[in-house]
Amino acid sequence: MNANEKLWGLLAQYENPATVYHACEKVRDAGYQQWDSCTPFPVHGLDKAMGLKPSKLPWAVLIVGVTGSTLGLLFQMWAMGWAYPMIVGGKPLMSLPAYVPVWYEITVLTSCVTAFLANWIMNGLPQPYHPAFASKAFERATDDKFFIMIEAADPKFDLEKTRALLKDAGATQVEELEP
Amino acid sequence: MSHHDIQKPTDITIPADSLFAKLPMLGGGLAVVGLGATLASAFGENKARAMFSYLWAFEVVLAIALGALGFVLIQHAVRAGWSTVVRRLAETAMVTLPVFIVLFIPIVALGMHELYPWSHHTDAILEKKRWFLSVPFFLGRAALYFAIWSAFAWLLYSASVKQDSTADGSAEQKKLSHTMWKLSAGGIFVYALSQSFQAIDWMMSLQPHWYSTIFGVYFFAASILAFFCFVTLVAMALQKAGVLKDAITTEHFHDLGKFIYGFTVFWTYIAFSQFILIWYANIPEETEFYMVRLQGGWDVVSYALPIAHFFLPFLFLLSRHMKRNRTALAAACVWMLFMHCVDMYWLILPNFGTHGEGHHEAHLAISYLDVTALLGMVGAFLAAYGFFLNKNKVVAINDPRLTESLAHENY
């Protein structure tokens, strides 16, 4: 446990995608769990370099999408064929082709809304404050600099060793972040 | 990740002992036997059936070559980077288009009367369509389509092959890329129109009272889908033969898989759009198309298409892991090519024996002539494909975007 109670973690700055990529590999191999990287644009293969597991997002979309799709079809069949029977264009009450456009749209709608909301939930959004926001250098994470942050809460975290690891991986500066 | 350590592939010619080297001979033999048997029947009492089989096989294979032309045009027009490693395989399919001029001759010389009711029969509706559906205009349009396809296929192919021998970074190399880009930008329009009108002339006019304004798009969807399946299988087979082993990666197969998946959905969207408007409006001259296809055994095919051409591949290829798994993707490609044959069969064959009129009952009856025609037509196509594949390098080795393509990764 660290003596400094006011420490949230370390923020390291890198100059280009290649350095941050290899730095991530080192942090991953050192066995850290509670850490993240921030880049101004998607860096190919960074998820592998960080050792991230495949996202669970597709499963959420699939489950809600299939549920929405089924319920959407059943609702139409119930409403058009059972609860409010009405003959339209001389077609039978249960006319599957007529239900297909809404069936299709409700599948797309439920899937998209799930993807959007699950994305926010899984990423912990909205996040009005984050310790890294206190850093002046971090503003360039959306411009031309690359960052790795490791939380002090990580069991492997040791202020000096972690700082050395980030420095050795090519960091141009390492900052301490307060909560 | 970075482009510096990317090596250009060296396994870029067909080994002399591989099956691909024998493809022109094997395909040619198959073409002579298959098309010979089909056309021999066209001189007997099975003439009409033989011509319908012939037209079906012709459209099945033409769809692949036309899909390839469309693909190449789009890749150049949008200056695509990812696809450069497989573009030559598509160009090779595209440059077989002039061969279809020869393959089209029997349809004109032997089959006009058997296939197209409007060529010898008229009524109040056909009288109004006479200016378009007349034999001389039909032949003139066919000549125009072939001229357009052959010209674009040949210009794009020869420019791409010429680039193989230019120096890297030279002005000539850049100029050729620029030429192909400009050709393609305009080419997309004439391609879209010619392939649509081809479908209208050669397939939709089999049932001359009926019309569907989405028919050209329907054919395009089927065509480019068949092409993507074909090129994926060729790429896999080439790697088995020891060609482009490291150049074409899982990332490229993943992208091809996405296209197969996407165009499966697109085909369904178009097919259903055509169906629901006709079903809803319920106007006799429109519904006859579905009427003949909902009786005499064709109803089974009509119900099987949405299941086997959409739901099965949709669920099968939904997962990213399936698109990245070669065995699964190859299985999907074989299945979709089979369904492409069924789809074209469903478009063309119900008109046999019904004179393209909805009040005649159609009967689904598969004939040995279907087999001979398809084998012969595939043989002729593969012979031409093999010829060009052996003639030049199997990858556009000096394309400025090749390094980008080799390093391509999906997120």
- What pLDDT does residue B59 have? 97
- What pLDDT does residue A156 have? 86
Encoded tokens for B397: 């080795």
Encoded tokens for B289: 């198309």
Range of the domain at B346: 3-406
Which A residues in the span 115-174 are in contact with B, Cβ-Cβ below 8 Å? none
Cis omega (within 30 of 0) on the bond before B117? Answer: no
Residue of chain B minimizing CA distance to A21: B1
In angstroms, the CA B317 to CA B336 distance is 11
Adjacency order of strands within the sheet including A173-177: A35-38, A146-151, A9-14, A173-177
**Is B62 a member of any domain?**
yes
Q: What is the ipTM of this complex?
A: 0.80
Closest C-alpha among B48, B54, B62 to residue B36? B54
Chain B positions touching A89 (Cβ under 8 A) are: 280, 282
CA distances from A36 to A61, A137, A148, B265, B394 (A): 25, 16, 6, 37, 43
User: Per the CB < 8 Å rule, is B282 touching A90?
Assistant: yes
CA angle A83/A86/A91 to nearest 5° reads: 125
CA distance A52 to chain B (A): 13
**Is B254 a member of any domain?**
yes
In angstroms, the CA A139 to CA B37 distance is 74
Closest C-alpha among B205, B252, B208, B211 to residue B231? B252
Closest C-alpha among B392, B383, B377 to residue B91? B392
- What pLDDT does residue B360 have? 74
- Tens-place pLDDT, residues B193-252: 999 999 999 999 999 999 999 999 999 999 999 999 999 999 999 999 999 999 999 999
**Is B293 a member of any domain?**
yes
CATH of domain A3-54+128-177: 3.30.70
- Give pLDDT < 70 ranges for chain A: 1-5
Dihedrals phi, psi of A108, to nearest 5 degrees: -65, -45
Question: What pTM did the predictor assign?
Answer: 0.91
Residue of chain A minimizing CA distance to B279: A97
Q: Count the domains in chain B.
A: 1
Strand partners, A38: A147
Is pLDDT of B5 > 80? no
- Chain region(s) in chain A for CATH 3.30.70: 3-54+128-177
What percent of chain B shows pLDDT beyond 70? 98
Q: What is the mean pLDDT of chain B?
A: 93
**Is B179 a member of any domain?**
yes
User: Per the CB < 8 Å rule, is A18 touching B280?
Assistant: no
Determine the number of helices (DSSP H) and then strands (DSSP E) in chain A. Answer: 5, 4
